[in-house]
Amino acid sequence: MKIQGDERMLRRRSVEQMTGLSKSTLYRLIKQGNFPPPLRLTAKAVRWRRDEINEWLSGRPRGGGQQNL
C-alpha cells in the first residue's frame, strides 16, 4: 500500500519540529486528550498521521498565548 500526500506517517521528532512542542509536552497533551495519539507500529515504534497533526495545528489560535495548553 502506497501512502500519499497528507497520509504520510511522521516520527516524533518531525512532530516536535512541526508543532514546536517538546516530547514531554506532546505526551502530556495526548494524556489530557488534547493532541492526536500516535499509532503503534511495533513495541518501540510509533508514528503520527500528518493529516491529524495538520488538523490539530489548523485548530490552534494564532498569535501566541497558552490558553489551550
In tens digits, what is the pLDDT along the chain, a chain of 69 residues?
455 555 699 999 999 999 999 999 999 999 999 999 999 999 999 999 999 999 999 998 877 556 555
pLDDT at 1: 45
- C-alpha R_g of the chain: 12
Domain assignment present for residue 69? The answer is no
| Model pTM score | 0.78
**From the CB of residue 48, how many other CB atoms can be counted at a distance below 10 Å?**
24
Domain assignment present for residue 68? The answer is no
Domain assignment present for residue 67? The answer is no
Check if the beta carbon of residue 56 is closer than 8 Å to that of residue 33: no
Most distant CA pair in the chain, distance:
41
Q: How many domains in the chain?
A: 1
Domain assignment present for residue 44? The answer is yes
Domain assignment present for residue 65? The answer is no
Structural domain boundaries, residue 20: 5-58
Q: How far is CA 53 from the centre of its chain?
A: 4
